[in-house]
Structure 1
Amino acid sequence: MSSDFAFWKVGEGDPGEIYDGLAEGVTDGIGACSEVSWFRDELLSRWPDLVDVLEPTEYDLRDAPEDAAKYVLLTLPVSMLGHLDGIFELARQYELRGYSGVAGEAF
């Protein structure tokens, strides 16, 4: 069992549709912002174990390095849900938008 969360700074359209697109690797309508890159870097600095549940992966970034500044998608297993409060606080600090796949709600 896992929970999916997507984060971005600039995006056009319905958050649920953006989330669905990101789950399929579609980044149309998402703008690149340094805050997303900083968020990604700080996530991995604080919780290195997130590297295995974070997208885009390092492999994905070889073909599309700009995606590191567009979005972060986390698929958190139950064992990592304890990180969630800290992840949301960090997202607020960087003023990121997002969507919870489990709740079906934007944040």
Structure 2
Amino acid sequence: MSSDFAFWKVCRGDPGEVFDGLADGLTGALEASTDVFGFREQLLTRWPDLVDVLEPAVEDLLDVPGNAAKYVLLTLPVGMLGRLDDIFELAGRYELSGYSGVADEAF
């Protein structure tokens, strides 16, 4: 069992629809931001093992390098959910918003 959380800086449109579109690689409603890229880098610095549950994956960035600055999608297994408060605190420092797939609501 896992829980999905997407983070972004600027989203045009319905957050739930944007979240659903990420599964199909649709990122047109998201704007690139250095804050998203910084958040991604800090996540991986603090928790290197998140590389296995983070999208866009490193190999996907070769195809669409700008996506690293548009969004971060975490699919957290139950064993990693204890980090969630710290992840949200970090996202707050970068003034990111996003969507919780498990709660089916924007944050």
* TM-score, structure 1 normalization: 0.98
The equivalent of 2:51 in structure 1 is 51
Task: Give the 3-state SS of the residue equivalent to 2:74 in structure 1.
Answer: strand
Task: State the distance in 2 between where 1:48 and 1:24 align.
Answer: 25
Which residue is equivalent to 1:9?
A: 9
Deviation at 1:25, TM superposition (A): 1.4
Q: Which amino acid aligns with 2:46?
A: R
Distance in 2 (CA, whole Å) between partners of 1:29 and 1:81 is 28
Q: Note the C-alpha offset of 1:100.
A: 0.3
SS in 2 for 1:73: strand
1:65 aligns with 2:65: yes
> Residue by residue, what CA displacement relative to the aligned partner does 1:61-96 show, whole Å, maximum 9, x if unpaired?
000000000000000000100110000000111000
Q: Aligned equivalents of 2:24 and 2:91: distance in 1?
A: 22
C-alpha separation between the residues in 2 aligned to 1:25 and 1:31? 14
Who is 1:102 aligned against? Answer: 102
User: Structure 2 CA distance, aligned partners of 1:17 and 1:70?
Assistant: 16
Corresponding residue SS for 1:102:
coil
CA deviations 1:10-58 (Å, max 9, x no partner) are 1100110110011221101110000000000000001111000000001
Of stretches 21-30 and 7-16 in structure 1, the one that deviates more from structure 2 is 21-30
SS of the equivalent of 1:63 reads: coil
**TM-score between the two structures when normalised by the length of structure 2:** 0.98
Query: Aligned residue pairs: how many?
Result: 107
Residue number in structure 2 paired with 1:33: 33
CA distance in 1, matches of 2:94, 2:44: 15
Which amino acid letter does the alignment assign opposite residue 70 of structure 1?
K
4+ residue stretches of structure 1 with deviation over 6 A?
none
- Name 1:85's counterpart in structure 2: 85
Give, in whole Å, the separation in 2 of the partners of 1:94 and 1:18.
Answer: 20
